[in-house]
Amino acid sequence: MRIPAWLLCFLLVSLSPVWAAGNWVRVRSPHFTVLSDGTEKQARDIAIGFEQIHAVFTQALPGLRTDSGAETIVIAPKDERTFVQLAPWQKKQSAQIAGEFHQGWEKDFVVVRLDFPDETRDTVYHEYIHKLLHLNFTRMPVWLDEGLAEFFGNTLFRSNQILIGAPSPRINFLRGKNTLSAPNHSHYRPGFSLLPRR
């Protein structure tokens, strides 16, 4: 999802009173900055998750560019209340939104809620993979762009193994749906055509 500069400015301005109101921690990792009103351990775990996705992508597709020059800021609200303060435009559906990705020119903002389980972070990982893909390929077919983002975005990390391309949680949504036409993308595959382009 690409949002206009004015909306990013609004996001930054709206953050100010939230920072002042609570105890926020900042954790820096090699590729990410995490800001959270949860615990420092939760913020570190979020940073580790994004570093792991970054590492999986770079090891699976070596030689690809991964440094966009746009810093990735991950904001991790501890609950729905803080999330609504950060993203008031999502108030009506806030109970269902685990996270968001906002791509900008100089900084990318990722919102990841701490009150959702780890497995729901595929949405924001999916968008982060889009960012990495677009750094390297300017004219990817939509089916490949979405397919790779979904494949890497659904990576699951276990204590002794990494599951790349785990089944998408959206598979239940896709089952039973009719294939939609995609007139501009003749290679669009059934199934992925049902996924909204995020």
- Which chain residues interact with Zn ion by CB under 5 A? 146, 149, 198
Q: Which is nearer to Zn ion, 31 or 198 (CB)?
A: 198
Q: Which is nearer to Zn ion, 34 or 149 (CB)?
A: 149
Let me know: does 122 contact 157? Beta carbons within 8 Å: no
Smallest distance, Zn ion to C-beta of residue 198, A: 4
Q: Which is nearer to Zn ion, 1 or 12 (CB)?
A: 1
Q: Which is nearer to Zn ion, 37 or 122 (CB)?
A: 122
Q: Which is nearer to Zn ion, 82 or 168 (CB)?
A: 168
Smallest distance, Zn ion to C-beta of residue 130, A: 5
Smallest distance, Zn ion to C-beta of residue 56, A: 17
Let me know: does 8 contact 104? Beta carbons within 8 Å: yes
Q: Which is nearer to Zn ion, 15 or 56 (CB)?
A: 56
Smallest distance, Zn ion to C-beta of residue 146, A: 5
Smallest distance, Zn ion to C-beta of residue 82, A: 26
- Between CA 114 and CA 108 the distance in angstroms is 19
DSSP characters over the chain: -B--HHHHHHHHHHHHHHHHHS--EEEE-SSEEEEESS-HHHHHHHHHHHHHHHHHHHHHSTT-----SSEEEEEE-SSHHHHHHH-GGGGGGGGG--EEEEB-SSEEEEEE-TTS-GGGGHHHHHHHHHHHHHHH-SS--HHHHHHHHHHHHT-EE-SS-EETTPPPTTHHHHTTPPPPP-TT-TTPPTTGGGS---
Smallest distance, Zn ion to C-beta of residue 177, A: 17
- Between CA 126 and CA 152 the distance in angstroms is 7
